């Protein structure tokens, strides 16, 4: 693939990630958007519709994950990295979603920071920011040792 087309495609997927962030209120049901934007320390967990909220998280995570995997493929052209990333993203979704809903049910006001960060990993493409440098570093280490 021509490098210009490759970088345009990567930029396109980054634009998709930005658009998901910009239009998050229109695209996904998330009563926690306003909850975590409020400055008050004496807040209670907002009421939410469980299945609707789960599917909103799922679709947002899915879009972010697809963009992440495609960007990793475009950057590294290695199917093993795509498989590995996909397995990690799926595993992280199961673990983080379980943890998030557990925390919602059993959290106290002192645990809101944990809830905030678990949710952040579910709704933002943070794994892209972690995987790309890690895979690049691994690739440079393997290249130097060969």
Q: Encode pLDDT of 8-47 as tens digits.
A: 999 999 999 999 999 999 999 999 988 887 765 567 788 8
SS3 content of the chain, % helix, strand, coil (to 5): 80, 0, 20
pLDDT of residue 4: 93
Query: Where exactly are the structural domains of the chain?
Result: 3-145
Whole-number Å distance between alpha carbons of 22 and 42: 28
What is the pTM (predicted TM-score) of this model? 0.90
Q: Which residue has the tokens 């930029």?
A: 11
Whole-number Å distance between alpha carbons of 58 and 75: 25
Whole-number Å distance between alpha carbons of 32 and 19: 19
Widest pairwise Cα distance in the chain: 57
pLDDT of residue 110: 67
In contact, 30 and 56? CB cutoff 8 Å: yes
pLDDT of residue 48: 92
User: Count of CB atoms within 10 A of residue 21's CB?
Assistant: 14
pLDDT of residue 40: 55
Tokens for 71, please give them.
Answer: 């960007």
The rounded average pLDDT for each run of 10 residues, N- to C-terminus, in the chain (146 residues) is 91 98 96 79 80 96 98 96 98 97 84 89 96 94 80
pLDDT of residue 1: 62
């Amino acid at each position: 693939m021509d490098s210009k087309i490759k970088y345009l495609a990567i930029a396109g997927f980054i634009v998709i990630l930005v658009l998901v962030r910009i239009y998050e209120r229109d695209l996904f049901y998330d009563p926690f958007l306003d909850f975590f934007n409020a400055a008050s320390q004496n807040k209670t967990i907002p009421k939410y519709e469980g299945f609707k909220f789960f599917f909103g998280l799922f679709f947002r995570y899915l879009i972010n994950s697809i963009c992440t995997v495609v960007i990793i493929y475009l950057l590294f052209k290695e199917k093993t990295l795509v498989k590995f990333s996909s397995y990690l993203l799926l595993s992280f979704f199961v673990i983080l979603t379980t943890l998030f809903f557990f925390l919602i049910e059993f959290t106290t006001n002192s645990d809101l920071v944990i809830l905030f960060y678990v949710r952040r990993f579910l709704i933002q493409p943070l794994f892209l920011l972690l995987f790309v440098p890690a895979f690049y570093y691994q690739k440079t280490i393997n290249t130097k040792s060969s």
